[in-house]
Structure 1
Amino acid sequence: MEIFNNHKKLYGLALLLFLVLTVFVAIIPALNNQENYKPLPNSVALTPEELDGKNTYIENGCVACHTQQVRNVDMDKTWGNRPGIAADYARNERMSFLVNTATLMGTERTGPDLTNIGNRQPSLDWHLLHLYQPRAAVGASMMPSYAWLFEEKENPTKEDVIVNLPDAYMIGVKGKIVATQKALNLVAYLQSLKQVELPTGTVSQEFLYKQEKTSEVKVAGSTDDLPDGEELYSVNCMSCHQPNGEGLSGAFPPLKGSKIVLDNNIDLMVRIIMNGYNPREEYAVMPAVGTNNNLTPEQIAAIMNHEKTSWGNNAKKVSAEDVKKIMDIIKTEK
């Protein structure tokens, strides 16, 4: 055939075939993906502050140790309410024409997955403490300190955001530790990482490889007919109040021996879990964990019972029905 003897025609045909394949294999599927995987209705684009925080997240190598992907396996339930889908990342855009890094899914979990960290840990105070000195918040943490994102000021202004440091970490500090705008923007980015609810009627993937739990005969309405309170405490409360319930002096209050926890009148304890609590200067502000994480009366009762009967505490357990009554009252007050 003459075409094989004419290099111009041969190369031209090869180029044409390459372009046609590119259109059908790469361009058309990409356009279809853009059409099919549009941003979820309740998702929002990053603000300028959150975008700057994303840049800081990349600059400091956070992506190397933290993933942002909830796989459809049972063990990933810790990080999100459902497996991740392509639409979760639809609002991510290139950092610039030359820099992609739009989706920071990561490849390993030296640290925990951050997909839903904005819901799991919404506390500004906790994030700032964790960035300044990770071991103050999580004793076994391997994360390096990002102290250069903070300043030491003897006379902070009203506009300054002060880090609530435990007393043990205030040795040698003259004045107060104040967060720079870089630190605040980084926390704003972390707080923006939230799983958005799927549109009504959309069925999400099920988590696979579920661990079967042995069934036990339980009396409906009893304090035994509740989820695992220790597991729920680990997910929702432990990062601040610590595994031993002793909190962190100067940062987060103890639950061990707490008058509120030991009180048989559970009204205040339920309100704190649902609405959060601002102890002013003594401790950091507690977010509305129950409301933010959509905890059910059964889950809240399980957490309370764990706190009431752990670390030497010996208070009366509560039922989900008692918790629900208070939750209903709280709803009418809003």
Structure 2
Amino acid sequence: MEYFNNHKNLYITATTLFVALTILVCIIPALDNEKNYAPLPNSKPLSKEAEMGKAIFVSEGCMACHTQQVRNVDMDKTWGKRPSIAADYAGISRTDIWRNTATLMGTERTGPDLTNIGSRQPSSEWNLTHLYNPRILVKESIMPSYPWLFEEKENVLPTDVVVTVPEEYLTNKHNKIVATPKALHLIAYLQSLVQADLPETVAKPIFLYKKEIRTVTASNGKKEELDGAPLYANNCQMCHQENGKGLKGAFPALKDSKVVLNEDPKTMVDIIMNGYSGRISEGYAVMPPVGTNNNLSPEEITAIMNYVKTNWGNNAPKVTTQQIDELVKKVKK
């Protein structure tokens, strides 16, 4: 009983037990994880700018609406090339001795998943405009604007990064919107979010619960194509806009486009599958390989192309799934 009445002995015993359990339950497993788990060979560490951008991502609360985890269900294949695995997060380390770092996997998708956003939307022009005011590019967006990450200037310097903003969104139409270092760092972080390829020896996880594709046959016996309107909205509209006119100085119009109206669809298929950077000198952003990044099937590409070719006053010959299937195989790099 004397032992239990001695508070010093009790304190020493409790402290020793606490330290021992901490070592056994927390520290040893953590060290074991560091030893046995490593980032994927093809993954790239964050640059200094991206690290600073990650801190801004956290401070602005972006993970409250955006996840960074591709689940192994078919509906998630839009967000990445494959489902996420533990090795995708193995390169995350402590910020410093006092602070741990969040994996930023998120718990809610009010906005899209960002796991592979650096591949899906690598354009810094698009990201900066969207960050300044999402409604410029996506009218229905509920994402908040971040004008405090930008400056409005009447006279810009050669080193300033000017953001494409239509006049109706400016308080003074003679001014220009310039990105601050914080905005540029945040974009650097978003552009770094690219899903690494798995080694050839590792089996690629599959997406489960795939939707059953139903073939609809018209009264004349021909197969009906997919509806291109929602496919265009999900894959193209954020840049080229609902009216097909794009955004002046940033994203080219599809209305009256020579590529769209061309009777030979090869160039259009090539751009969809491999991206395009041929109009940078005109001030237009680099187009990512949307067809490849978003895992679009020949049927989906056909529907999108036919929608673009027959809307906004465009009147180009439609394409067939067989044509597109053959062209996709030819242009794939």
Normalising to structure 2: TM-score of the pair? 0.81
Distance in 1 between residues matched to 2:198 and 2:225, nearest whole Å: 27
- Deviation of residue 64 (structure 1)? 2.0
How do 1:314-329 and structure 2 match up within 5 A?
314-319=315-320, 322=323
Aligned residue for 2:306?
A: 305
Which stretch shifts more, 45-54 or 78-87? 78-87
Which stretch shifts more, 40-49 or 252-261? 252-261
Structure 2 counterpart of 1:276, one-letter code: Y
Query: Structure 1's 213 and 331: CA in aligned 2 closer, same or farther, altered over 3 A?
Result: closer
Query: Structure 1's 314 and 180: CA in aligned 2 closer, same or farther, altered over 3 A?
Result: same
Aligned residue for 1:127?
A: 127
Distance in 1 between residues matched to 2:66 and 2:19, nearest whole Å: 38
Query: Structure 1's 20 and 155: CA in aligned 2 closer, same or farther, altered over 3 A?
Result: closer
Query: Structure 1's 91 and 292: CA in aligned 2 closer, same or farther, altered over 3 A?
Result: farther
8 Å CA contact 1:278–1:285 kept in 2: the answer is no
Normalising to structure 1: TM-score of the pair? 0.81
Distance in 2 between residues matched to 1:230 and 1:35, nearest whole Å: 50
Query: Structure 1's 263 and 41: CA in aligned 2 closer, same or farther, altered over 3 A?
Result: same
Q: Deviations over 1:94-126 (max 9, x none)?
A: 222222234112222222221111111111110
Structure 2 counterpart of 1:72, one-letter code: N
8 Å CA contact 1:166–1:251 kept in 2: the answer is no
Identity of aligned residues (%): 54
Q: Deviations over 1:59-100 (max 9, x none)?
A: 222222222122223322221222212211112222222222
Q: Deviations over 1:264-315 (max 9, x none)?
A: 1334434443241343576531324258728678365453233223455442
Distance in 2 between residues matched to 1:132 and 1:164, nearest whole Å: 10
- Deviation of residue 19 (structure 1)? 4.6
Query: Structure 1's 193 and 226: CA in aligned 2 closer, same or farther, altered over 3 A?
Result: farther
- Between the two proteins, the alignment pairs up a number of residues equal to 328
Aligned residue for 1:238?
A: 237
Structure 2's unaligned 5+ residue stretches are: none
8 Å CA contact 2:163–2:178 kept in 1: the answer is yes
Structure 1 counterpart of 2:257, one-letter code: S
Which stretch shifts more, 312-321 or 141-150? 312-321
Aligned residue for 2:58?
A: 58
Query: Structure 1's 7 and 190: CA in aligned 2 closer, same or farther, altered over 3 A?
Result: same
- Deviation of residue 146 (structure 1)? 1.4
Distance in 2 between residues matched to 1:151 and 1:246, nearest whole Å: 27
Tell me, yes or no, if structure 1 residue 252 matches structure 2 residue 220.
no
8 Å CA contact 1:252–1:284 kept in 2: the answer is yes
Aligned residue for 2:77?
A: 77
How do 1:31-180 and structure 2 match up within 5 A?
31-170=31-170, 172-180=172-180
8 Å CA contact 1:151–1:180 kept in 2: the answer is yes
- Deviation of residue 196 (structure 1)? 0.9
Distance in 2 between residues matched to 1:106 and 1:284, nearest whole Å: 33
8 Å CA contact 2:66–2:108 kept in 1: the answer is yes
Which stretch shifts more, 170-179 or 141-150? 170-179
Distance in 2 between residues matched to 1:187 and 1:310, nearest whole Å: 33
Describe the SS at the equivalent of 1:127. Answer: helix
CA RMSD of aligned residues (A): 3.4
Describe the SS at the equivalent of 1:199. Answer: coil
